[in-house]
Chains A and B, each alone.
Chain A
Amino acid sequence: MTTSGITRRGALRMFGIGALGVAGAGALGACAPSGAGTSSGGDTKSKNFDFTSWSLNEEAAKPSIEKIIAAWEKAEGSKIRAVSYPYNEYLSQLTLKLGGGETTGAVHLDIAWLAAVAQMGKLADLGSVALKGGYTNVALDSGMYDGKQYGLPWNTGSIGVIANSSLLEKAGIKKHPTTVEEFEGALRELKGLGGGVVPYAAATKVAQLKDIFPWMQTFGCTLLEDSKVTIGDDASIDAVTWYKKLHDEKLIAADVDRFDARALFGQGKAAFYDDAIIGKGVTAAQSKDKTLADAMRPMKRPVLRAGDTPQALLWGGVIAIVKGKGQDAATEFALHTTTDRATTTEYFAARALPPSTTAGLSDPKVAQDTFTTEWTEKITDTATGSPFWQFAQNAQIEEAVAKQVQAVLVGTSKPKDAMKKAAEEVNDLIKR
């Protein structure tokens, strides 16, 4: 039914009031300038700059970083604007805001994200600055992409295997297994302990199954060689077949991610698990067993044949500098934060994150920490970055492989078929 006496003009006026907001937003969207137009501007000599870091949100890290910022502001008479996003949202937020020109100054990056961010063309080359830092070679490598030093390494560590020496002792295992065969034997001994012990709390959930990569490398798969995906070769199939064997023999458990692994390990229900160096503090903190921290030992990942190089994934953070406003001061701040001995030592004491400089690592307060020095020698020294980090689709690549590995674990796919499919999916993702 229609109200009598209503003119079209009157009706449209009613509608117009309501539509104003929506239409306005649409029109503004059409008129909006592109993000690129607003980026990389500003005074590079400005003493004031932004520092973006996910750690500025986190209770454990926030006080230490705020202290570093406050000390810098006081010494230099400058103002640092602290910006933060949750870790899981960090890369997408940073990409959007860097593209839109909102992010300037110093930016904390996970080394796995460096390539994706560097490809945006907004980061400064810090090659000449890095030479002044006294960084270790492995640390410097973690801040490089495409031959350029885009990040000053802040903390350099790795993801490796942590062992519970008390459980190993209980099972009569006197030394850490060094080969895959010895490792398997140790897992069987540990299973014999009973009491619901999961010998190796390896990742079996998709979210964390990227942990399979170092095992694939252990079996001889290079993952990527001269832009060619090698997943699907015999070595990768052998690795997944072996993983499936551990799963079927209940030497590893189903449905485990990093959080579950820490929980199991913390309750003395797992003898080995994969974690970053910082995992020690996290796992020990959530365990009722206050002696657990002393029982935790870094272990070289077992190799296929004696003499092979143990595999580990490089892990850590760098500080990159955005070209434009406050660039010079931000660079000095990044250099100071990552290399000043007192600053890095204090940061290590607060967070157990190993420094990235030779001087920092040799500081007595760092060197006396047995776990850290052992970790650096046993794991970080041979750690390498993932060849897939160079692709913006890294997360999808990891997920694609993880899903296929999980399909093998739950028995819906054969290792050969699954790895072939994974290779196809990774190839498609790389070509995008």
Chain B
Amino acid sequence: MTSTTSTPLAGTDRLRPSATSAGRTSRRRMRKDLLRSRIAAWTAIVVIGAFGMLPVYWLLATALSSPEQTFQFPPKLIPTDITFSNFTALAENDQLITYLVNSLIVASITAVLSVVVATYMGYSFSKFRYRGRRSLMHMVLASQMFPQALLLVTLYAVFSSFGLLNTYTALVLSFTTFTMPLCVWMLKGIFDTIPDALLEAASIDGASRWRTLHSIVAPLAAPGMIAAGLFAFVRGWNDFIFAVTLADKEKQTLPPGLVSTYIGEFQTAWPELMAASLVVSAPVVVAFMFLQRYLVGGMTAGSVKS
């Protein structure tokens, strides 16, 4: 933050006692302003941090509580009788491992497929000019605006008629439908920042268009591709409605799996559910920790044109 207090001109007022005093007052004010702004900043950090982290803390606290403690009224912020039984119970549930493996398979393939397809589409939109390009670009973007549930019935009928229900293929294709538009636009923005001169130079050196894309453009756009892949992975990892509709128990992913296992007609096993949620979030959290710089870089890469 900048101070609005005016400072005396150097030299002219240095010898005047009143000016020295004014300078001290001014510095005090500046210090006060700095202190105030620091307090404000820290308050904001604490409030926003609490807003973001309290649910995670609550998740952890519930996972470490017994069912009786979970339903204690009024609830206690800090659990007193800590138990790890909710975590040990997870290891005994083979079905959860199946859900976890399914989630990893489906989300990973969705991420790869989305990035591969979006790379070609984004490159085409960015570096080529042809009739209907803008319309196609907007059509791709518009498809992102439809609520997922709207396409569910159509996709269900399509997969049913082609015998694809209860397969990984159905899940991957349906997830990709929703991850694709943003991936395409994200990558188009990144390709836009790559100078055409580079492509022309490659062409002069004899590189084919495919070679140019694969050997020159793709490495430069790698952070963006990783960001797009992460986005697609997380969308695939978190999807509930498509996974519950298009896949049976053997192919279902974690979100419907956890709901099926822990949320029943009469009660919800909150401590076990929270423990399971914590454990299954771990791979995504770890992936984010390692790849977050690419994600931030990739998301903002297309924001400024060179």
B73 and A86 contact, CB distance less than 8 A: no
**Binary A-proximity of B146-157 (CB < 8 A = 1, otherwise 0):** 000001111111
Assembled-state Cα–Cα distance A111/B199 (Å): 67
A349 at the interface (CB under 8 A from B): no
A297 at the interface (CB under 8 A from B): no
A residues less than 8 Å from B203 (CB atoms): 3-5
Binds B, one of A264-272, A318-326, A335-343: A264-272
A128 at the interface (CB under 8 A from B): no
Chain B residues numbered 154-199 whose CB sits less than 8 Å from any CB in chain A: 154-158, 160-162, 165, 173, 176-177, 180, 184, 195-196, 199
Q: Tell which of B67, B160, B180, B199 touches A35, judged by Cβ atoms closer than 8 Å.
A: B160
Interface size class of A (residues with CB under 8 A): 35 or more
Assembled-state Cα–Cα distance A38/B156 (Å): 13
Known A-B contacts A2-B128, A21-B173, A86-B260; A263 and B160 likewise in contact (beta carbons under 8 Å): no
A10 at the interface (CB under 8 A from B): yes
Known A-B contacts A10-B209, A32-B157, A286-B71; A2 and B260 likewise in contact (beta carbons under 8 Å): no
Assembled-state Cα–Cα distance A58/B245 (Å): 18
Q: Tell which of A88, A102, A269 touches B263, judged by Cβ atoms closer than 8 Å.
A: A88
Q: Tell which of A2, A15, A19, A96 touches B156, judged by Cβ atoms closer than 8 Å.
A: A96
Shortest Cβ distance from A65 into chain B, in angstroms?
13
B residues less than 8 Å from A11 (CB atoms): 124, 128-130, 133
B200 and A4 contact, CB distance less than 8 A: yes
B112 at the interface (CB under 8 A from A): no
> What residue of chain A has the Cβ atom nearest to residue B210's Cβ?
A14
> What residue of chain B has the Cβ atom nearest to residue A54's Cβ?
B265
Q: Tell which of B158, B196, B199 touches A29, judged by Cβ atoms closer than 8 Å.
A: B158
A263 and B184 contact, CB distance less than 8 A: no
**Binary B-proximity of A273-297 (CB < 8 A = 1, otherwise 0):** 0001011001001111000000000
A87 and B117 contact, CB distance less than 8 A: no
A25 at the interface (CB under 8 A from B): yes
B122 at the interface (CB under 8 A from A): yes
B127 and A2 contact, CB distance less than 8 A: yes
B residues less than 8 Å from A373 (CB atoms): none
**Binary B-proximity of A1-44 (CB < 8 A = 1, otherwise 0):** 11111101011101101111110010011011111001000000
A residues less than 8 Å from B161 (CB atoms): 32-33, 38
Determine chain A's interface SS by DSSP, over half rule: helix
A residues less than 8 Å from B268 (CB atoms): 259
Assembled-state Cα–Cα distance A259/B260 (Å): 18
> What residue of chain B has the Cβ atom nearest to residue A12's Cβ?
B130
A406 at the interface (CB under 8 A from B): no
Assembled-state Cα–Cα distance A22/B151 (Å): 13
A267 and B124 contact, CB distance less than 8 A: no
A residues less than 8 Å from B68 (CB atoms): 286-288
B173 and A267 contact, CB distance less than 8 A: no
B residues less than 8 Å from A262 (CB atoms): 71, 267
A18 and B196 contact, CB distance less than 8 A: no
Determine chain B's interface SS by DSSP, over half rule: helix
A93 at the interface (CB under 8 A from B): yes
A282 and B266 contact, CB distance less than 8 A: yes
Chain A residues numbered 341-360 whose CB sits less than 8 Å from any CB in chain B: none
Assembled-state Cα–Cα distance A250/B152 (Å): 46
A residues less than 8 Å from B130 (CB atoms): 8, 11-12, 15
**Binary A-proximity of B193-216 (CB < 8 A = 1, otherwise 0):** 001100110010000010001000
Known A-B contacts A4-B200, A287-B68; A100 and B160 likewise in contact (beta carbons under 8 Å): yes
A83 at the interface (CB under 8 A from B): yes
A242 at the interface (CB under 8 A from B): no
B residues less than 8 Å from A46 (CB atoms): none
B264 at the interface (CB under 8 A from A): yes
> What residue of chain A has the Cβ atom nearest to residue B256's Cβ?
A86
B162 and A38 contact, CB distance less than 8 A: no
B234 at the interface (CB under 8 A from A): no
B160 and A38 contact, CB distance less than 8 A: yes
B121 at the interface (CB under 8 A from A): yes
B residues less than 8 Å from A72 (CB atoms): none
A residues less than 8 Å from B245 (CB atoms): 93, 96
A57 at the interface (CB under 8 A from B): yes
B42 at the interface (CB under 8 A from A): no
B16 at the interface (CB under 8 A from A): no
Q: Tell which of B124, B153, B199 touches A18, judged by Cβ atoms closer than 8 Å.
A: B124
B54 at the interface (CB under 8 A from A): no
B residues less than 8 Å from A2 (CB atoms): 127-129, 196
> What residue of chain B has the Cβ atom nearest to residue A89's Cβ?
B244
A8 and B266 contact, CB distance less than 8 A: no
29 A–B contacts from the bound complex (CB under 8 Å)? A2-B127, A3-B199, A10-B209, A11-B129, A15-B125, A17-B121, A18-B119, A18-B120, A18-B121, A18-B184, A20-B117, A21-B117, A21-B173, A22-B140, A22-B180, A25-B158, A28-B162, A32-B160, A35-B160, A38-B160, A54-B265, A83-B248, A86-B260, A100-B157, A101-B160, A102-B160, A264-B73, A267-B72, A279-B266
Known contacts A14-B123, A282-B267; 10 additional CB pairs below 8 A are A17-B120, A18-B122, A22-B117, A32-B154, A84-B249, A86-B260, A86-B263, A260-B73, A263-B73, A286-B68
Closest 7 CB pairs of A and B: A18-B121, A11-B128, A15-B124, A18-B120, A14-B124, A263-B71, A1-B196
